[in-house]
Chains A and B, each alone.
Chain A
C-alpha cells in the first residue's frame, strides 16, 4: 500500500528544468533513500513533496487525502539546514512546535518528553539550543519532525553535515524510527543509504536513474571485474586493456585499473597472455564484483 504516489512530477525554475518528471510510489513502513550527487534535484523533490514548493507539473497524492487538502498533518519534514531559536531550550522548542501542530499544551509536553528520550537528548532538555552540538541539533530536528506522529517522515540530508560520531548517532536513531513510520531521506553518500534504507531511488540531473530495493539493485548491477595494479605508472596499460573484446568498461580507481568484463575466463586469458608477452609489471590481479558504488560512480560521471 503506497503512502504517497508521485506521477510525472516536474519543477522548473524559470527555464531551467530541475526535476524532469518523476514517477514513484513509496510503500508504507519502508525506509527509502533518495540518493544522488549534489545538484541532482533531491532537495527540490523533497520540498515539493512537503508542500514547500509548488510543482510545475505532475501530481503528488498522499494516502487518505483528497486533492488540495492540507498535508501537514501527515508529514514531518526536516530541512537540510534546520534553524532553531537558540534562546529556547530543547523541550520548550518541541512543545512550541507541537502546539503549532494543533496539539494541546499537555499533549505536546508529553510527546516532547517521549521524543526527547527517544532521540537521547533528554538530559539536555532544559539547556538552551544554542549550546547544543551539531548532532544534538539534528536529532532535535528529527524529534521536531516527529512531534505530531506523521505517516511519512522526510529528512533532507540528515547526516551530511555531521562528524562521524554525530552521523552514527543519527543513523542509529533512524534505524530505530523506521520501525514506526515511513522514512524518506535524501543523501549523497551511498554508504548511508546502503546501511539503513530498504529501497533506493537514485537520482541524477532531475531524473530517477534507478529505483528498487537495495538487494535487487545489487543483484542487477553485479558484474565481474578485475582489479589490476601495476608497478609504476598505470596509464600506458589503459589503452591496451581497452582493446580486448571481452572488456566492457575501464575505470581508474585510486591508481588501480578496474576492468569490467563480460566473460571472466576469456578476459583472464587475454589479459594474462598479454601481460606475459609484454612483460607487464603487475603487482595485483584480483577478481571482484561490481558494487553499488560502481553503479553510483558510473551514473554520476556520465
Chain B
C-alpha cells in the first residue's frame, strides 16, 4: 500500500503547486490555438497586410471534425512535450528529496 501513500503525496503536491489548474489550462490553450488561428486567418492576413491589391484568398470554414483533428495533431506534439517536462520534474524532485 505504500505506493498509494506516495501517490497521494504526489497528488497533494500537485494541488499545492496549482498544477491541477495550470496544466489543464495549458492543454486547453494548445487545443484551441490551431482551429482558432485557422478560423481567423483572413482577418489576420488583412490586418498584417502584405497581400497584393485584388488578390482573393479563400479559406474554407473549419469543419468540426477538422477542428478535432487539428487539436489532436497539436496535442501529439506540444501536449506530449508538456507531459514529458512534468514527468521530468517529478522524477528529478523525487531523486533530490529521497522520500
Contact = CB atoms under 8 A, between A and B. Distances in A.
Interface of A: 79, 83-85, 87, 96-97, 99-100, 102
A100 B97 contact: no
A79 B9 CA distance: 21
Interface residues on B, range: 10 to 19
B97 A96 contact: no
B17 A87 contact: yes
Contact of A83 (B5, B6, B17, B98): B98
A87 B97 contact: no
Contacts, number: 22
Q: Is the interface of A mostly helix, strand, loop or mixed?
A: loop
A46 B17 CA distance: 35
B96 A96 contact: no
Nearest to B2: A100
A79 B96 CA distance: 13
A100 B5 CA distance: 7
B30 to A, nearest CB: 27
Contacts of A85: 9, 13, 97
A83 B97 contact: yes
Contacts of A100: 2, 5-6, 99
Interface string B11-29: 0010011000000000000
Contacts of B5: 96, 99-100
Contact of A87 (B6, B16, B96, B98): B16
Interface in B59-95: none
Contacts of B97: 83-85
22 contacts: A79-B98, A83-B96, A83-B97, A83-B98, A84-B97, A85-B9, A85-B13, A85-B97, A87-B13, A87-B16, A87-B17, A96-B5, A96-B9, A96-B99, A97-B99, A99-B2, A99-B5, A100-B2, A100-B5, A100-B6, A100-B99, A102-B2
Nearest to B98: A83
A127 to B, nearest CB: 14
Contacts of B9: 85, 96
A99 B96 CA distance: 20
Contacts of B99: 96-97, 100
A87 B14 CA distance: 10
Nearest to B93: A85
Interface in B14-58: 16-17
Contacts of A99: 2, 5
